[in-house]
Amino acid sequence: MVALLVALAFTGALQGVSVLDAGPVVDVGLPVARAVQDGAAAITIGFLVLAATAIPGARSGSQVMGRSQWVATRWAVRAGAVWLVALLANLVLEAADIMGVPLSSPGFGHQVVFLSLHVELGQTLLVSACLVAATLVVLLTSRRTTAVGIAAVLALGALLPLALGGHAAGSAEHGNAVNALAVHLLGVTVWLGGLVALVLLRGTLGRSLPVVTQRYSMLAGIAFVAVAASGVVNAWLRLQSPADLVTTSYGVLILVKCLALTALGLAGWWHRQRTVPTMRDGDRGPFVRLALVEALVMAVTLGVSVALSRSAPPVAQNPVTGDVRYELLGFHYPPPVTPLRMLTEFHLDWAFAALAVTMAGLYVAAVVRLRRRGTAGPPDAPRPGSSAASCCCTARQAARRSTGRCSSART
């Protein structure tokens, strides 16, 4: 909260960003509600993802949650309730901010209902709140391990509508902006929430803490790459040049986030190299101390991020061009089609490009791992139509070897 208010004061966003000012209660209350919403979302998702993917369940073959999973889901229920209340508060404050009226104005309740049902920003918040409510219902009505996975999926899905609102949805290059924001939200919540969950569950996990930490470390590494890549895309869409990083207040806050991300990456590397091995020896102190520092840095970064969402970037996010096609697409309409342009003209969708590169990299890594094991990969697989003959030849050779009648010439 301190980081949020300092960052808002630094960018001048505390004075409001609307043409019609709804008053200081809304100007300060809206970013505070957003910070509580983001923090509670991260904690909810962190506990659920950890319970679904990293925390050992009950005895083998049982569909009932293990004790550690049960405790994790109770934490998720508490944080989810806070998340739901913050979402509803955010909806009310957004209505006041958009219309530029105080909360006590006549007929304000009807205006909130209209915003929720007929305006895209209100609809996204309402859908997100419904998904959070569904998450709570699933957690409160079932103790099966399947329910943990379903609740985790619902909670992660509750983040996606939020990417469709705010600056990203109405900006130039809004396709890439929305995708980048969605990936950023998913990465941050899993990373931050998982770390908080590890610290709070360290006593409950007992001897399984090192194993759970190692599994979380894998998730955190993936989240780090996702947050870094999506952050670069977000900055590229909102800054005119690298000089804006030091000449504008918006750029300075992005620089703060970059430094925090670098520090968190180094902390994660230190965890892998030092603290996790000491945990296997029974010494949890170094891990807990470093994790608390990481959580503090993440909380500061979260406050800065909310302040950025309430601040005007150097690049106009909804430029007036007079071209309806540009406003719909978010980028300039492509030139007339020619045979050459059919092969050379493209517009990069960074999210799907990154997904394609990742899948290709995973495939290559799998082939390399198979070859190191001495297992034939797809290039060495039998040709179509020759598998039956190969099997027969192999069977005959095995039979000959078993009777001692196999010669090199016959083989």
Which has more confidence, 248 or 136? Answer: 136
Q: 61 pLDDT exceeds 70?
A: no
Residue with tokens 């998982």: 194
3-state helix, strand, coil in the chain (%, to 5): 75, 0, 25
pLDDT tens figures, 155-201: 999 988 877 765 555 566 777 888 888 888 899 999 999 999 988 99
pLDDT greater at residue 125 or residue 280: 125
- Sequence length of the chain is 411
Predicted confidence at residue 408, as pLDDT, reads 42
pLDDT of residue 335: 86
pLDDT, mean over the chain:
81
Backbone angles phi, psi at 144, to 5 degrees: -85, 150
pLDDT (0 to 100) of residue 299: 87
pTM of the entire predicted model? 0.77
pLDDT of residue 317: 58
Q: Is the pLDDT of residue 388 over 50?
A: no
Question: What are 195-240's pLDDT values in tens digits?
Answer: 999 889 988 888 888 888 888 888 888 899 999 888 888 888 888 8
Tokens encoding 55: 């925390």
Give the confidence band of 29 by pLDDT, cuts at 50, 70, 90.
confident
Q: Which of the residue ranges 88-92, 302-306, 340-344, 355-359 would you say has the lowest mean pLDDT?
A: 302-306
The answer on pLDDT for 405 being more than 50 is no
Reply yes or no on whether the pLDDT at 281 is more than 80: no
- Helix 24-53, helix 2-11: angle, nearest 10: 130
User: In this model, does residue 76 exceed pLDDT 90?
Assistant: yes
Q: Is 262 exposed, middle or buried (0-12, 13-18, 19+ CB in 10 A)?
A: exposed
**pLDDT for position 381:** 52
CB 132 within 8 A of CB 69: no
